[in-house]
Amino acid sequence: MSPSPSDADGEAVARVRTKGEPRFPDGPAADPAGSHFERRIRSFQPRRSRVTTGQADALQRLWSQWGLDIDGQRVLDLTELFGDDRPVVLEIGFGMGEATALMAAADPDTNVLAVDVHTPGQGNLLALAERSGLKNVRVANGDAIILLREMLVPDSLDGLRVYFPDPWPKKRHHKRRLIQPEFLTLAAARLRPGAIVHCATDWEPYAEQMLEVLTAHPDFENTRADGGFAPRPDFRPLTRFEGQGLDKGHVVNDLLFRRVPHDDQHE
């Protein structure tokens, strides 16, 4: 990459990108799947915020090694992606990545494929992974639905984490919520029997919907004998976002459901 121009005092001057020029030439693509797939109702809304110098540096240096774009044009070999055959957990929506990095550090025998569309968070998680010497984290950029449907094979995942997804609180937007029957059917096809789906939210109406659709889905069973919510497990760190919600009086609910055996395995 060519050096940044400098002013008379030797200070670096930000170069203005030309139209169509990628923001990070060696980093995540702006729209990795392009127009290859139908424009369905999205469960996420990209957030635009400033990328710090450290995050930009991590994206430029580490993306080719630990990042991948969800283009839907290939099937991933997870053993090749991580360099080993350890169990893989998919995390959808990791924010700034603090909890993801802590969980990956606490469980080095589990690989984490972390998906988000938030560029500062992608850079932050890469920087945290490098700083902590984590080898079991890969960062995916794009739509998790395309990843599940087009790029992962059946029974390839040992777990799914969805922490504090967008609650889409307005009733007319409820169709955008991620945890829906159709999504669970797709996820079930990629989860091994016994895999755990772990959701958490501080929006109580969404928690109730999650509990309802997970309980009704034939491919999952509640790990709670009482059929209700689970207490926050010790392995899920208390995030900064969660702490802010608790300070405001929000109630956080965790759900832990297990992928049941396939029909041909019940016998």
Reported as a single tens digit per residue, the pLDDT across 116-169 is 999 999 999 999 999 999 999 999 999 999 999 999 999 999 999 999 999 967
First CA to last CA distance, the chain: 59
Give whole-number Cα distances, 195 to 2, 87, 105, 262, in Å: 47, 10, 20, 12
| pLDDT at 92 > cutoff 80 | yes
- At residue 204, the 3 state secondary structure works out as helix
CA separation for the pair 17, 4 (Å, rounded) = 12
| pLDDT at 3 > cutoff 50 | no
CA separation for the pair 165, 167 (Å, rounded) = 6
DSSP state of 149: I
CB of 230 within 8 A of CB of 223?
A: yes
CB of 104 within 8 A of CB of 112?
A: yes
Relative orientation angle of helices 53-66 and 119-132, to the nearest 10 degrees:
70
Spacing of C-alpha 46 from chain mean position: 13
Tokens 């956080």 -> residue = 252
Spacing of C-alpha 50 from chain mean position: 20
Give catalytic residue positions. 166
Q: What is the mean pLDDT of the chain?
A: 87
Tokens 């702490």 -> residue = 243
Please report, as a single letter, which amino acid is at residue 109: D
Reported as a single tens digit per residue, the pLDDT across 203-254 is 999 999 999 999 999 999 999 999 999 999 999 998 877 888 889 898 999 9
